[in-house]
């Protein structure tokens, strides 16, 4: 199956075909470094980290993720603290890097800073002026949106309707209310760089165009970011880049969904705003990463203690199974024996099609939620073998070796299951999430006991186990694929 991605530009899934065979060039908008990063940033960066990891299994990938290190918010913070802008930007670049390292991100190929690309920015602005697509208004330079016929093609908005309904501060120097700044004249006390239009600094949108084109060329494969960047940031990037170069800017536009807090949009004004650092003080980094991958990247994701608890219990369930098979005496590679029991045959079947199903899920627009579901199916089959005969047969031991290898292989793509199982289980002992009163291994053992009881038509014992788990806040969910559970 060919890789298919949802392209915001076309509004549909498309087969992914790189501009240059065997090579992929990808740019993802980084953070504006004026404060600690929040869990919305965590989602975007984990999403594109997984996309980067998966693409690298097939292509040579150049991945650029920038730092916006000059901006009104940075300047305001610097003035408030009585320091220079670069003190603020360097402080929060370090903080961001620490957060990303804890979340297990692979470093991008290139991590440029906007302030290191002023010459490239000025060159593009001048090209736009020379082409009549931008104009100077005193010390500022604006892009003229009416000069770009396909403006708003990414967000599918209408320029006339936006102008009629716009609540934009009136600036008589603009030719059109939607015109946006390419270069801003420096105010007294602000940092500045010399330019043909006087002392000033770049606008936000032109920074990303300059950095992406320098390292990836005038046309490249993938541009990513959160849905909140579609308009105006990515829309304006397209306009200025294609107006300057006269060619398509990006082939595939990928955008991740929002993070909600207890079903409400995350907002500082609502008091439901959490930094990555705050979340990692409470939860293991691998739990947070696993949670972020539990939904498709384009879907909204509801952040709550209960949902984190479920992610933590699910991850513990997987690690508990890996630890259990690691403890089976004589787990060595190379043993070959036919599967004897029904449970062993089921595990053999799951293993046989596992990597194909994983690739099929990831080829369907990087469906990590479905990929994780496939892992849980494998774990259930492992636990059944362990429960029925202890997994001590030659066939079971050979399959356990394959299970560990397979889980490690997909873990290298998802960025989870990377710890030693016993080490992970020891690490989270002191970080139990509210609502969990039992370990995943204990729950799985009781679920298997309940399955055996139901098979023997001992429904009294089956109900007893269900009620006992419910009293411990564990809700059982029976389905065609077996019984799963979640924290109530």
Task: Please give the domain boundaries of the chain with CATH numbers for all domains.
Answer: 4-277 (3.40.50.620), 305-487 (1.20.120.640)
Whole-structure pTM value: 0.88
**Spatial CB neighbours of 456, under 8 Å, sequence gap ≥ 6:** none
A 10 A CB-CB count for 170 gives: 6
Which pLDDT score is estimated for 347? 93
Residues 439, 316, 335: CA angle, nearest 5 degrees: 110
Secondary structure (3-state) at 181? strand
pLDDT digits 0-9 by tens, 64-99: 999 999 999 999 999 999 999 999 999 999 999 999
Cβ pair 286, 312 in contact under 8 A? no
In sequence order, the β-bridge partners of residue 451 are none
Residues marked as binding for ATP?
268
Chain position carrying tokens 């630890």 = 323
Binding residues, as ranges, are 29, 208, 233, 237, 268
Among the ranges given (12-26, 199-213, 299-313, 326-340), the one the predictor scored with the smallest mean pLDDT: 326-340
What is the structure's pLDDT at 306?
83
Q: What is the pLDDT of residues 47-69, one digit of tens each?
A: 999 999 999 999 999 999 999 99
Rounded (10°) angle between helices 305-327 and 285-292: 110
Long-range contact list for 94-98, CB < 8 A, 24+ apart? 95/36, 95/37, 95/277, 96/31, 96/33, 96/37, 96/41, 96/67
The answer to whether 65 and 105 have CB atoms below 8 angstroms apart is no
d(CA 108, CA 99): 15
Q: Is the pLDDT of residue 152 over 90?
A: yes
Given this model, what pLDDT does residue 208 score?
A: 98
Looking at the chain, the whole-number percentage of residues with pLDDT higher than 90 is 73
237 contacts 209 by C-beta, under 8 angstroms? yes
State the binding site for Zn(2+). Answer: 29, 208, 233, 237
């Amino acid at each position: 199956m060919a890789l298919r991605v949802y392209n915001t530009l076309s509004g549909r899934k498309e087969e992914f075909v790189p501009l240059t065979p065997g090579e992929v060039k990808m740019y993802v908008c980084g953070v504006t470094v004026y404060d600690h990063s929040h869990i919305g940033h965590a989602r975007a960066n984990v999403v594109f980290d997984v996309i980067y990891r998966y693409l690298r299994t097939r292509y040579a990938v150049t991945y650029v993720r920038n730092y916006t290190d000059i901006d009104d918010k940075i300047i305001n913070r610097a003035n408030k603290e009585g320091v220079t802008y670069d003190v603020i930007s360097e402080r929060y670049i370090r903080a961001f890097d620490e957060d990303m390292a804890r979340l297990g991100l692979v470093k991008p190929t290139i991590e440029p800073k906007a302030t290191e690309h002023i010459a490239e920015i000025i060159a593009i602005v001048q090209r736009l002026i020379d082409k009549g697509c931008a104009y100077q208004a005193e010390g500022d330079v604006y892009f003229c949106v009416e000069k770009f016929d396909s403006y708003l093609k990414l967000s599918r908005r209408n320029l006339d309707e936006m102008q009629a309904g716009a609540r934009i501060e009136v600036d008589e120097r603009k030719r059109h209310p939607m015109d946006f700044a390419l270069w801003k004249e420096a105010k007294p006390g602000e940092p500045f760089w010399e330019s043909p239009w006087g002392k000033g600094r770049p606008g936000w949108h032109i920074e990303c165009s300059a950095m992406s084109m320098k390292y990836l060329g005038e046309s490249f494969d993938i541009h990513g970011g959160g849905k909140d960047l579609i308009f105006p940031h990515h829309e304006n990037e397209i306009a200025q880049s294609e107006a300057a170069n006269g060619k398509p800017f990006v082939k595939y536009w990928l955008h991740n969904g929002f993070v909600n807090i207890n079903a409400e949009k995350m907002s500082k004004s609502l008091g439901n705003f959490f930094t990555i650092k705050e979340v990692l003080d409470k939860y293991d980094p691998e739990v947070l990463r696993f949670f972020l991958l539990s939904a498709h990247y384009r879907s909204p994701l509801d952040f709550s203690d209960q949902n984190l608890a479920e992610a933590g219990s699910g991850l513990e369930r997987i690690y508990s199974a890996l630890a259990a098979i690691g403890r089976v005496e004589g787990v060595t590679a190379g043993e070959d024996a036919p599967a004897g029991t029904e449970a062993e045959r089921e595990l053999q079947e799951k293993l046989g099609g596992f990597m194909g199903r994983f690739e099929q899920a990831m080829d369907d627009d990087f469906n990590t939620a479905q990929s994780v579901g496939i892992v849980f199916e494998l774990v259930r089959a492992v636990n059944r073998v362990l429960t029925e005969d202890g997994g001590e047969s030659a066939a079971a031991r050979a399959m356990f070796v394959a299970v560990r290898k397979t889980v490690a292989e997909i873990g290298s793509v998802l960025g989870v299951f990377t710890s030693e199982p016993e080490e992970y289980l020891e690490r989270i002992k002191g970080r139990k999430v509210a609502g969990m009163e039992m370990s995943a291994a204990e729950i799985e053992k009781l679920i298997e006991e309940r399955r055996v009881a139901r098979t023997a038509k001992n429904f009294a014992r089956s109900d007893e186990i269900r009620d006992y788990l419910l009293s411990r806040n564990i809700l059982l969910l029976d389905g065609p694929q077996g019984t799963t559970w979640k924290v109530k």
